Amino acid sequence: MGAVGCGNQATSFSSKLAPTTNAQVAAYTVSSNKPGKVAVQFGLDTTYGLTTWTQPVSQGGATTLLVAGMRANSTYHMRAVVQFGDGTRFVDSDHTFTTGPGDPSQQATTLTAAISPGKTPQSGVELLTLVSGTARPTVTDLSGNILWTYTAVPNGTSPNPVKMLPNGHFLINFSAGTVDGLNSVIQEVDLSGAVIWQMTAADLNAALATATCAGCNITVVGTHHDFVFLPNGHLIVLAATQRDISGTTVTGDVIIDLDENHQPVWLWNEFDHLDVTRQPMAFPDWTHTNAILYSADDGNLIISIRHQNWLVKVDYANGTGAGDILWKLGYQGDFTLVGGTDPVDWFYAQHGPSFVTTNTTGKFSLVLFDNGDDRVFSPGVICGNTGEPPCLYSTVQILQIDETAMTATFTFHPTAPSYSFFGGNAEVLANGNVEFCESAGLAGAAGVIYEVTQDSNAQTVWQMQTTGLFAYRGQRIPSLYPGVQW
């Protein structure tokens, strides 16, 4: 392909555009006789409007950028822009790329999105963790148009969860079965869908069998629900394990720290730290842990244990901690609830917590989705009776945590539009609005994701409905490229 030069005309530059195995992703390769940095601008016309991230161009070498974020069955214009160290710049000529039909299995899913009149949602794209049926990791624009999917899903599994890594790849945990983690496989994939690395449950058990860390000599069912990628390159994974308790097979969870080579170096086992006779929900699926947060300020972990109705802080200390439980947040935990009624206003069967504040210790805030499955009411209250609250409803909670005073204070606590018996997540967006997902917010295989104002009225700014598949999580991310805001 030709090039349009700006600056030093002695620069030699060439480019090549090619399809990838993903019908909505193009491979744009540039070569130059000078080192620099390149990004690709693209859009439905020559005003472009979208850009990839910027990557280095080596002298005399070739750099390929995967261009993603395009609708199916559409013709896009794109051009590479190269910035050289001497201040000169090359702008490639305009080229077109026509995307294919996308993933046929996604036709079973209807995504309907709407912006409320007069409202402006947080910009970006929506990363969907869809589950059941023909679920695929999916990214859409805020109008509900599918921009990216990963189609090579291991047979019979669903993604749970999907997260973007700092290197621009996606990390996805797949599993399916009657026990959390059954048939699990973790895959790191690039935007074209190429698998960079993967770990099956069998791979993890083989690694545990040779690991020297304390408690690592166990067998797990498999990984499930969540993981956290740490700044040092380690990966914290959640895996189910089982024990025979008085003739009953009880399922609990372990937290495993995998180093840069995916080898176990630290393990925390719930059977060693929690009371197995505490069984508020769905025993012998005893804990059903579903989320992990990394507290950067002290290097500890906060885990969401759904079937205990608790968030628990664990002494991880960046891999040097003893694993002691530092506190339990929730009903019958260590904190006093302020601004709400104990027990009814605590969270129950919760999902998807995230930090609201930049600080993560001392005084900080968390937001989560309170499913409310096994909500406990005050003595004398018979839920569902005339004049009494309904038995089943969900809420969205922002709690200001004070680890010294041991208080949890509501700063936001609306009732969700619908009761969602499973799934969900919540986060505070860059514009201050709150986004939350009701995985089963509607009858049948359907969910709803909302962006609402963070005030006493909690007005809806934007919403997306999924029909045909449940939306386990919905998350607003800036774009398909780290550090780039669309």
Distance separating alpha carbons of residues 160 and 467, to the nearest angstrom: 18
Q: Residue type at 352?
A: G
pTM check: above 0.85 = yes
Q: Please, are residues 267 and 214 in contact by the beta-carbon 8 Å criterion? A: yes
Output the CA torsion 408→409→412→415 (10° steps): 70
pLDDT of residue 417: 95
**Look-up of token digits 């005073």:** 405
Residues of the chain with CATH 2.120.10.30: 104-477
Structure tokens at 129: 């963790």
Whole-number CA gyration radius for the chain: 24
| DSSP 8-state class, residue 285 | B
pLDDT of residue 225: 96
The alpha carbon of 176 is separated from its chain's Cα centroid by a whole number of angstroms, namely: 18
pLDDT of residue 443: 77
Q: Please, are residues 33 and 3 in contact by the beta-carbon 8 Å criterion? A: no
Per-residue pLDDT reduced to its tens digit, 212-224? 999 999 999 999 9
pLDDT of residue 329: 99
User: Torsions phi, psi of 262, nearest 5?
Assistant: 65, 35
DSSP-based three-state secondary structure for 87: coil
Residue 438: count other Cβ atoms within 10 Å of its Cβ: 29
The low-confidence residues of the chain, meaning pLDDT below 50, are: 1-9
Closest CA to 463 of 229, 240, 149, 142: 142
CATH code assigned to 104-477: 2.120.10.30
Closest CA to 136 of 79, 213, 189, 91: 189
| CATH C-level class of 3-98 | mainly beta
Q: Please, are residues 407 and 428 in contact by the beta-carbon 8 Å criterion? A: no
Closest CA to 452 of 442, 461, 464: 461
CB-count burial class (<10 Å; 0-12, 13-18, 19+) for 177: middle
Closest CA to 286 of 268, 310, 261, 265: 310
Residues of the chain with CATH 2.60.40.10: 3-98
pLDDT of residue 413: 98
